[in-house]
Amino acid sequence: MTTDQLAPATTTTSLADLPPSVWALIRTSQDLYLHERWLRVEQDAHPNASFHAWAQDEGHAAYAPAYRFDADDNPWAASRLDLFLAAHADLETGPAVLPNYLLGGRRPGHSQILCDAPAPRRRTLLTQVVGAAAEAAAAAGAATLAALYCDRDDEDLAAAFRAHGAVRLPSPGLNVLHLPGTSFDDWLASMPNRRRTNVNAERRKLAHAGVTIELRPLTSDDLDEILPLELDQYEKYGHHYRHTEARALHEAYLRHLGEDALLVRAHLDGRLVAFASIVRHGRSAYIRQGGFDAVASDGAPVYFGTVFHQPIAWAYRVGVDSIDLSISADATKQHRRAVTRPRDAWVVPMTDEAERALRRWPGMEQVQR
């Protein structure tokens, strides 16, 4: 079947309008962020416009969501394009790249187009989806279409963006921990002696300080306790996140994820000193939000207890063998056996102003239309 004979790519603003071939993809997606239930989380939690782009041919389909960001939106550098470029490409564009639509996901480390077609058909379908999304974003008045966390080894996806004049920019890598063996002790044994000694020292310090850590399903009663810690954590690193959206995201967990939305809580003297939220998806788990009160924890290594020790022990118990640790703090995560997967950002400029702004980055790879 030639490209001209393929069914045209299209977009819709409603999940309900997706065809059966696309539903088959999103209901079986191995990537949490492109699974049906997470798409419903985003639908509830993200306040701006969005659309869904897809293409299909005989027996195969490709699909990705796209989420809008404007200049007055949540100033979160992980997703708002102008702030992302300033943080990761040292490129100050101001509002020239906004409005923007993020294609394939808006969560750190993850931008993907689902596709069940083999090569070379996969590249064709991906290219069609990017084209349909760019056309829909332009029609909605956007200055850019972007995917901020693309797998650097995905040559088909890179070709799809190049075909529509995209530019490639730096992006932080995604940290993933693949658990060895069948027990926490196997994870410890997989590390060099010095690192294993450090982890055991962290565990002793937590016990000596009297820190208690539990892991259980998230409940609505937890939100008032954990949200202040979460927002303080963002502020420590210069990331500003609005309380309304932070709360809406947790509430969407409760509506759509059930007991796969989990919470790790660390207490000292009856006070919450750290937390980490976890979402389980099959044999994978995703460490999502977190907050750590260094003063109240009195120097105890609560970050390591809530993000590593307790989730890893839980993962072995329940049959989870892969933990997504998101972006940043690469060295800390690598020291505990995580692998950092390289990522690229791709941006399709759709206005002259946006293209001029992107050209100011000295290392930009410009792909001619």
Backbone angle region of 288, left / alpha / beta, with phi > 0 → left and psi within -120 to 50 → alpha: alpha
Residue 291, Cβ density class (10 Å: 0-12 exposed, 13-18 middle, ≥19 buried): buried
Task: List, in order, residues 6 or more apart from 208 with CB less than 8 Å away.
Answer: none
Which pLDDT score is estimated for 364?
62
Does the global pTM surpass 0.85? Answer: yes
Helix, strand or coil for residue 214?
A: strand
Q: Between β-strands 271-281 and 261-268, what pairing exists: parallel, antiparallel or unpaired?
A: antiparallel
pLDDT in tens, the chain (369 residues): 333 344 578 999 999 999 999 999 999 999 999 999 999 999 999 889 999 999 999 889 999 999 999 999 989 899 999 999 999 999 999 999 999 999 999 999 999 999 999 999 999 999 999 999 999 999 999 999 999 999 999 999 999 999 999 999 999 999 999 999 999 999 999 999 999 999 999 999 999 999 999 999 999 999 999 999 999 998 887 777 889 999 999 999 999 999 999 999 999 999 999 999 999 999 999 999 999 998 999 999 999 999 999 999 999 999 999 999 999 999 999 999 999 999 999 999 999 999 999 999 987 654 333
Nearest to 367 by CA among 219, 27, 208, 359: 359
Residue 331: what pLDDT? 97
Whether the bond between 362 and the residue before it is cis, its omega within 30 degrees of 0, is: no
For residues 203 and 310, give the distance between their C-alpha atoms in angstroms, rounded to a whole number: 10
Q: Are 337 and 184 in contact (CB under 8 A)?
A: no
Q: How far apart are CA 290 and CA 137, in angstroms?
A: 33
Buried b (16+ CB within 10 A) or exposed e, 172-202: bbbbbbebeeeebeebbeebeeeeeebbeeb
Q: Which of 247, 233, 277, 281 is nearest to 38 (CA)?
A: 281
Six token digits for residue 350: 């759709």
Q: CA nearest 92: which of 102, 101, 82?
A: 82
Q: Measured between alpha carbons, how far is residue 114 from residues 5, 54, 148, 198, 290 in Å?
A: 21, 9, 16, 40, 28
Q: Give the N- to C-terminal CA distance of the chain in Å, as an integer.
A: 25
Is the bond leading into 120 cis (omega within 30 degrees of zero)?
Answer: yes
Looking at residue 6, what is its pLDDT?
47
Rounded to 5 degrees, φ, ψ at 254 are: -60, -35
State residue 7's pLDDT score.
Answer: 59
Structure tokens at 214: 């539990």
Query: What is the C-alpha separation between 106 and 321, in angstroms, rounded?
Result: 24
Pairwise CA distance, residues 227 & 218, whole Å: 13
